[in-house]
Amino acid sequence: MLHSQSPSDFNPRFEVVSCFLIHDGKILLLHRQDSDDLQPNVWGLPAGKREKGESIHEGMIREIQEETGLIIPGQDITFHDSLHVRYPEYDFLYHSFSTSYTERPEIILRPSEHKDYKWVTPQEALQMKLITDLDACIKHYFKISE
């Protein structure tokens, strides 16, 4: 469950960064491998845990490069929001970013993590099998009402 304010007893185990890569009104979704330990065979944004000693911006730039092969200058990535995520097993902080492209970039997947990618509209994304709570993040970012 996503919260804009910290719930009582919120105790984050880690921080996650994620980014909406946008081109021509579409966002990039990555299809996770069947062998993924946490949430296999679902679609998600370029995302991952922030590593110790790095800022959330540095973590986001690293994750984008690792998962897509894209190198994004820090000034080209925009911070959007931080949300508090509460799962039954643990809590974490979720930081979202965005960046836009005038030309569709070449995506180079890391086969150990993702098996495919697609550029889809936010509305199309909401019809796909998404990683937990990504639907709420898409609605929040693109201001899509129920």
Distance CA 31, CA 87 (A): 22
Distance CA 62, CA 48 (A): 9
Confidence (pLDDT) at 146? 67
The predicted-structure confidence for 76-86, as pLDDT tens digits, reads as follows 999 999 999 99
Distance of CA 20 to the CA centre of its chain: 7
The predicted-structure confidence for 29-79, as pLDDT tens digits, reads as follows 999 999 877 899 999 999 999 999 999 999 999 999 999 999 998 899 999
Domains and CATH numbers, the chain: 2-142 (3.90.79.10)
